[in-house]
Amino acid sequence: MTTGTRPSGAAYRRGGDGEVTRLTSNDLTTLLSDRGPAPMNIAAVLVVDGGSRLDPSAVVSALDLGTRRVPRLRQRLRARPFGRGRPYWLDDDEFRVGRHLGFERVDSTEALLLRMAELACRPLPRDRPLWAAHWLSGLPGGEAALVFVTHHVLTDGIGGLAVLGALADGAPETPGVPSSAPTSGRPVGRGRPEPLRTAGSVRQRLRLLRSGLHDLGARRERPRLCPHTSFNRPTGPRRRVSVLETPLGAAIDAAHRHGATLNDLLLTAVAGAIGRSLADRGEPVDSVVLSVPYSSRTSTTAGRLGNETGVVPFRIPLESACETDGPARLQRVAQLTRRQRGRPRAASAAPLGVAFHALARMGLLQWFVDHQRLVNSFVTNVRGPTAPFTFCGREVTRLLPVAVTPGNVALTFDVLSYAGTLTISVVTDPDVVPDPGPVTAHLREELDLLLVSTNAPPLA
């Protein structure tokens, strides 16, 4: 799937008057997808050892320094006049860390996860840079947590890790980016202007539209839709998060022992958990379709954010989802994914973007995302740093992910490896999935089945 490393400080190209950084087509697709009652935000929780003993001013200073390493965190997204091109990033003259940072107390991990989900679902004001941070002190053992939320248009998961690395102690400086307001000059770098609507460019957009609509199921032949389940209903403005953690090395060893990858193991476990949960609800299905984001990059820097991802759907058979032979199911999933590895990463992003634009212009995009029958769930997996971060001189002991997904997918799974631990966040809409306990318990059972052959420690 995707990997990430600590930023190395590479810079955007700098330019003169009139040069701006505009949204890419992938960024614009992400922005268009932000429909419905829950914002398309991504968030991470950094649990800081001894953080409750830090003075709030130290947290403010650390974040202020971090935003200087990530220029995008000091820029607003501005729209151009109709017909004049894509939105662009512009320095926020009123930027202050205090406009983005809050302080409060929580007294348990359960309260932290509840607050994390609430903050991830809070819309970010468009009159300032698209991020917010909250420092939650009072956790057991003197820990505190930094909940950092960004809009997905600012970055994907790979870029999100680069941002977190830039907020940590000792990160390198990142040179600035072009940010002047557009005049008669031309955008540069990733914001190159679109070509004029020549006959050739129109034909290209029509080809992309046809390809995108094909990916969305509009084919001459009848498309094979995903099963209709009670987990696939239009979602509301709230989410809840539960978390599982296991040693990363044990999970990788279990996968490799059976000729599979870590991603194969995760797909097997998630599909099995969904299948068991649906069976409990009296909704047995023979397969589920899991959508997996793939990035066109394996790492990035704090100076190169944005979105460079596409998606690949995997139909995972469930005829034997409840059997106890986890390794056998893992091997079958590995065979299935190997057949699809030849597809270029992020190949679906451009055509889907054109298709989403067309649906948006017709006023049909919200209806589509609320009623789609292409995927049952989303599984994201980002490989984080192998060594722990420090923040304000304190070790970050845990790193927890959450992404808010719009539409009719009320159960999603966000996976992140960090300092030897594999963390899986189970994200649910409480209006559709009132009790996430059974899903989480089944996921724990599925992972235990897959890890048992390596005598791995039980899940935390």
pLDDT at 83 (0 to 100)? 64
pLDDT of residue 29: 72
For the question of whether the overall pTM of this predicted structure is more than 0.75, the answer is: yes
Q: Which domains, from first to last, does the chain contain? A: 2-6+22-174 (3.30.559.10), 226-388+401-454 (3.30.559.30)
**Nearest-angstrom CA–CA distance, 460 and 446:** 14
- pLDDT tens, the chain, 460 aa long: 333 333 333 332 333 334 468 777 777 777 777 777 989 899 999 999 999 999 999 999 999 999 999 889 999 988 877 666 778 888 999 999 999 999 999 999 999 999 999 999 999 999 999 999 999 999 999 999 999 999 888 777 666 778 888 888 876 665 544 443 444 334 444 444 444 344 444 444 444 444 444 444 444 445 678 899 999 999 999 999 999 999 999 999 999 999 999 999 999 999 999 999 999 999 999 999 999 887 665 555 555 665 556 678 899 998 654 555 678 889 899 988 887 765 544 445 555 556 666 666 676 666 677 778 889 999 998 888 999 999 999 999 999 999 998 889 999 999 999 999 999 999 999 999 998 999 999 999 999 999 875 444 445 5
pLDDT for the residue numbered 172: 64
**What is the distance of C-alpha 58 from the center of its chain?**
29
Rg (the chain; Cα; Å): 22
Angle at which helix 248-257 crosses helix 262-280, to 10 degrees, equals: 90
Find where tokens 């899986």 sit.
Answer: 424
